[in-house]
Each structure stands twice: as C-alpha cells, then as structure tokens.
Amino acid sequence: MQCVTTIKFTNLERSAALETQARKEIQQLEHLFPKLQSCDVTFDLPHKHQHHGVKYEVRLHAAMFGVDFIVDHQSNEDAYIALRDAFFAARRKLHDFEENQRSKKITNPLSK
C-alpha cells in the first residue's frame, strides 16, 4: 500500500536534501508498517531570535488503521537529527500500537 505523503517547510526555505532524507525515512517506515496510510512531515524554524543557536522542529503526523499518530516538536540545532528523532519516536509509537493490537487478538486459553 502506498501511503500519502506531504512534506512542508514553515519559516524556512525548502531544502531538497531535507526533503530527500524525509522521503527515505518515510519509505523505511512504510517497509516496517505496510498498512501505513499517510505520513505528513513539517519542518519548522520558530522564533529566529533565540539566544543560543537556531533549533529546527520536526512534526510528524502518521495514520494507520484509521488511527492518528502525532510526534510533535522534535527539536535540535541540526535539522537532520530532529528528523531522525521524530521518525524514531514514530516507529516506537507505531510498534507499540501494533503490539497492543496483537495482544488484544490473543485470547487466554484458560478463560474458557
């Protein structure tokens, strides 16, 4: 199943390199979770007037089985690290959800 993908850049210029890396991460997520329906990635550069360097924020919104998964505000001074952290958190959430769904399907043989 091909998931619908959207990549947005807010308060910063579009970067082909960041977009390519995001698409690679989405492909890996699709490989691990074939039932993934959509994945939206937003890069943001809020408040450019900070005292200590610029922090990029990456927000991720994924949907699977009609359930929304949101990874919000993974921030770092390196946009690639923020992207990596966002997808790591998304993989963890999706994995936990699948494990929870599997455990609900398993019935206890002693309960009969």
Query: Does residue 35 form part of some domain?
Result: yes
Both structure tokens of 81: 């690290």
For residue 90, the domain's CATH number is 3.30.160.100
Instruction: Quote the pLDDT of residue 2.
Output: 78
Evaluate whether residue 64 is within a structural domain: yes
Q: Give domain status of residue 21, yes or no.
A: yes
Structure confidence by residue, pLDDT tens digits, 47-98: 765 556 788 999 999 998 888 999 887 889 999 999 999 999 999 999 998 8
- pLDDT at residue number 79: 93
Give the whole-number percent of the chain exceeding pLDDT 90: 62
pLDDT, residue 49, reads 57
Answer whether residue 65 is part of any domain.
yes
Coil/strand/helix, residue 25: helix
How many domains, the chain? 1
Q: 8: domain range?
A: 4-106
Which long-range contacts link 25-31 to residues 24+ away (Cβ below 8 Å)? Answer: 25/83, 25/84, 25/87, 28/87, 29/62, 29/87, 29/90, 29/91, 29/94, 30/2, 30/3
Structure tokens that stand for 101 in this block? 């769904």
Write down the pLDDT at residue 28.
94
Percent of residues, the chain, with pLDDT higher than 70:
88
Report CA-CA distances (Å) from 38 to 33, 46, 78.
11, 25, 25
